[in-house]
């Protein structure tokens, strides 16, 4: 059974990451806690807001926290959700229908992605809405 433990974070789409960072920095009175070429995250007050320029992020995406991502992923797929995976052109596709983006952090059998401090997966519910799950993973941020 999938056990949600709470709201994880929300990722908002942006086509101009730099402009979005400027606006959110002014609104939140802080700079991003993390920033890469196509993603930035703000964190504070127990809430994380991400900004993504990835082509497949075209609607807000809520990430739900789970205790066991494999078990939750399996439960959701058994209930009719379809596992999604990022493909080489940066878009999102149903698992097995496109050439998956490669990397040591992507499980090609499930689409689960290992990130610093978290594991995450995106699935498509039977109604077509995307849903995302994330499992916190302990990490020693002090190591290089």
- β-strand partners of 35: 40
Query: Is the pLDDT at 143 greater than 60, yes or no?
Result: no
User: What kind and span of H or E run contains 28?
Assistant: helix 17-28
pLDDT band at 88 (very low <50, low <70, confident <90, very high): confident
Q: Is it the case that residue 99 has pLDDT exceeding 90?
A: no
Amino acid 30: pLDDT:
95
As a whole number of angstroms, the distance between CA 37 and CA 18 comes to 10
Average pLDDT over residues 80-98: 86
- Is residue 8 very low, low, confident or very high in pLDDT (cuts 50, 70, 90)? confident
* pLDDT surpasses 80 at 100: no
Query: Is the Cβ–Cβ distance between 130 and 84 less than 8 Å?
Result: yes
Task: Output the pLDDT for position 105.
Answer: 85
For residue 46, what pLDDT band results from cuts at 50, 70 and 90? confident
Q: What pLDDT was estimated at residue 29?
A: 93
Q: Single out the residue of 119, 112, 121 nearest to residue 138, CA to CA.
A: 119
Q: Is the predicted pLDDT of residue 144 greater than 60, yes or no?
A: no
71 CB-near residues (< 8 Å, 6+ apart): 1, 2
User: Where are the chain's structural domains?
Assistant: 4-136
Assigned fold of 4-136 = 2,3-Dihydroxybiphenyl 1,2-Dioxygenase; domain 1 (3.10.180)
pLDDT at 75: 94
3-state helix, strand, coil in the chain (%, to 5): 15, 40, 45
| Average pLDDT of the segment spanning 71-76 | 95
């Amino acid at each position: 059974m999938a056990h949600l433990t709470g709201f994880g974070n929300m990722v908002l789409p942006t086509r101009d990451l730099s402009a979005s960072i400027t606006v959110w920095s002014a609104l939140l009175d802080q700079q991003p806690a993390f920033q890469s070429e196509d993603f930035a995250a703000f964190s504070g007050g127990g809430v994380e807001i991400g900004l993504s320029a990835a082509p497949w992020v075209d609607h807000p995406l809520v990430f739900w926290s789970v205790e066991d991502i494999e078990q939750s992923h399996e439960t959701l797929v058994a209930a009719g959700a379809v596992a999604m995976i990022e493909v080489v052109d940066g878009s999102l596709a149903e698992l097995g229908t496109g050439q998956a983006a490669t990397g040591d952090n992507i499980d090609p059998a499930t689409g689960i992605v290992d990130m610093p401090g978290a594991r995450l997966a995106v699935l498509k519910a039977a109604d077509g809405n995307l849903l995302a799950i994330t499992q916190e993973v302990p990490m020693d941020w002090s190591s290089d």
